[in-house]
Structure 1
Amino acid sequence: MKTAQAPQRPAPPVPPPGRSAPAGRGAPGALRRALAHQLRAYAFLIGGLICFALFSWYPAVRAVIIAFQKYTPGAPPQWVGTANFTQVFHDPEFGAAWRNTLTFTVIALLAGFAVPFLMALVLNELRHAKSFFRVVVYLPVMIPPVVSALLWKWFYDPGAGLANETLRFLHLPTSNWTNGADTALLSLVVVATWANMGGTVLIYLAALQGIPGELYEAAELDGASLWQRVRHVTVPQTRFIILMLMLLQIVATMQVFTEPFVITGGGPESSTVTVLYLIYKYAFLYNDFGGACALSVLLLIVLSVFSALYLRLTRTDD
């Protein structure tokens, strides 16, 4: 008995010599989809580059050019060479601005580096209400900087301010705070530290939670104290984060402006005039955009040299 055989399909035609077989039907569609995907990616990239070029790179290049010009809005600019830099160097407030800025940076770095790290250590050891305390610590960052400065300006008021009222209630001597030349800059450091440490605390906390618990367990088994665990486990494991945040804090504090502008107005006796505040005065009070740009270029050079030296001294083989 013969079994039925399935009908055989005809073999595909063999292309003539010198010609390749036609591509599958899905190849053009896949190619179009891949091309559209790449075009969308480059479109988003080009949009970001345009934003950076218009709002970051172009103003920076333009500021360098204006630093060598006598620039007045509505009038054609005139090239004056290094005259703007000479004028800025001979300004009586130039030395005071740099001295105040460096003093503010050093004090703010000591407070802004130690306090957030200690707070992160405390939050990392909490067992209850962690989310609540994280929100409390980060809350000052969510307040607009000008609003925060205005609150502290009322807090520091030598008459009816909360600071002096608290001191009177405790029968302690009051202070002039931001109205005294010897206490104004330190008072601004407190404001800046309080307003900006929330983000730093959370970054430190994330770094601490990434440390393997086995390291602490081994240290405890070896009889290490709390200070020894922090010194030999916590600090080495978070070294990269500490170094990067330190650099970012130095760059940020060297550009302090909001607190002197809103709270003290550069006073008293120019004790809180910073470099950025002096740039503002040149541009919008003296109408001297050439001098303002010259100061900006000097600040850029100082920060760039410091950042390069800092990265070179703190880099590691890995």
Structure 2
Amino acid sequence: MFGMRLRRQLTAQGFLLGAVVCFAVFSWYPMVREFLLAFQRTEDGRTSWVGLDNLRTVVNDPAFWQAWRNTALFTVLALVFGFVVPFVAAVVINEFRRGQGYLRLLVYLPVMLPPVASVLLFKYLYDPGYGLLNDLFRLLHLPEQQWLQDPDLSMLSVVLAATWMNMGGAALIYLAALQGIPGELYEAAELDGAGLLRKIWHVTIPQTRLVLSLMLLMQVVATMQVFVEPFLLTGGAGPEGSTTTVVYLIYQYAFNFNDYGAAAALGLLLLVLLAGFSALYVKLSRAEDQ
């Protein structure tokens, strides 16, 4: 009996040790290495400590502030579309009594597609010559648009593509939260004469507040690290640098300029900003709950 319990404990500890090793090698070590690289410079195979020189290099780069402005704009637009649209989709799906399984599959389908396939689809939609969006505009007698070539439209086009590609997971999380709301609350609201919008405002949102708060935090953190969509749709920088994001600038420093110290310094800045935002958000949420 003792031997069986010992084997179970050793097996459990072995699985736990494997997980810890994986986190240490693939998560913790790169974080520590990035922190060290932010204060180092490697030339001719020799590494030297340079203090804050990498940070000064990054801050003095004209693309630095543009990248932060573009990232902030993407985050705001992504929250407007990527936070609201999945919630509305979940509310609509929750209203159906039949066919919810098919609707859930339909909403989640874009997430299952490879990002490259989704990007190729949107490149076809956005094409100024034969793209479906401009075909629709011509049908409606509206002026055609240069979706990815116009600096004023390129970021919005990237946000719309990113929203379609990533909304499925959030919609299913919202739907699970909605289905956990007691039906008696909606019945009481209906007896009080509440319509659909009032039921959403007074019942749905308060009952899913915790999930909404968590998803807001996760979406801000995720959108501040956007890279795949602008890189694949506009080549990263976009027209006149309109889609250059902070993570793309990190990519440029590391793989185009071979300046890993500057890339690490910029990554460290992004890490500090997101960690500060997360801490402040959690603190404000706790204070509001109390």
Query: 2:243 maps to which residue?
Result: 272
Structure 1 counterpart of 2:156:
186
Q: CA deviation at 1:191?
A: 0.6
- The structure in which a higher percent of residues are helix is 2
Identity of aligned residues (%): 57
Residue equivalent to 1:313: 284
**1:56 & 1:146 partners in 2: Cα distance?**
26
* Structure 2 counterpart of 1:205: 175
TM-aligned CA deviation for residue 184 of structure 1? 0.4
Q: Which aligned pairs between 1:293-312 and structure 2 lie closer than 5 A?
A: 293-312=264-283
2:31 is aligned with 1:60 = yes
Distance 1:184 1:225 in 2: 38
* CA deviation profile, 1:100-121 (whole Å, cap 9, x unmatched): 0001101110111111111111
Unaligned runs of 5+ in 1: 1-29
RMSD: 1.2
Q: For the Cα contact (< 8 Å) 1:185–1:272, is it kept in 2? A: yes
Structure 2: state its 5+ residue gaps. none
Letter in 2 for 1:285: N
Where 1:172 maps in the other structure, the secondary structure is coil
Residue in 2 that maps onto 1:292: 263
Separation of aligned partners in 1, 2:49 and 2:257: 19
CA distance in 1, matches of 2:42, 2:93: 52
Distance in 1 (CA, whole Å) between partners of 2:289 and 2:225 is: 31
Q: In the aligned structure 2, how far is the partner of 1:222 from the partner of 1:160?
A: 53
Q: How big is each residue's C-alpha offset from its partner over 1:264-286, in whole Å with a ceiling of 9 and x where there is no partner?
A: 12120001000000000000000
- Deviation digits for residues 6-62 of structure 1 (CA, Å, limit 9, x no counterpart): xxxxxxxxxxxxxxxxxxxxxxxx111111100000000000000000001000100
With the length of structure 1 as denominator, give the TM-score of the two structures.
0.88
CA contact (8 A) 1:146 1:258 kept: no
Larger deviation: 155-164 or 239-248? 155-164
Once residues 32 and 113 of structure 2 are traced to their aligned partners in structure 1, the CA distance between those partners, rounded to angstroms, is: 32
129, 149, 154: which one pairs with 2:119?
A: 149
Q: Which has the larger radius of gyration?
A: 1
Distance in structure 2 (CA, Å) of the matches to 1:75 and 1:97: 30
Q: CA deviation at 1:76?
A: 2.3
CA distance in 1, matches of 2:215, 2:68: 23
Instruction: State the 1:317 CA deviation.
Output: 4.7
Calculate the TM-score normalised by the size of structure 2.
Answer: 0.96
Q: 2:231 maps to what in 1? A: 261
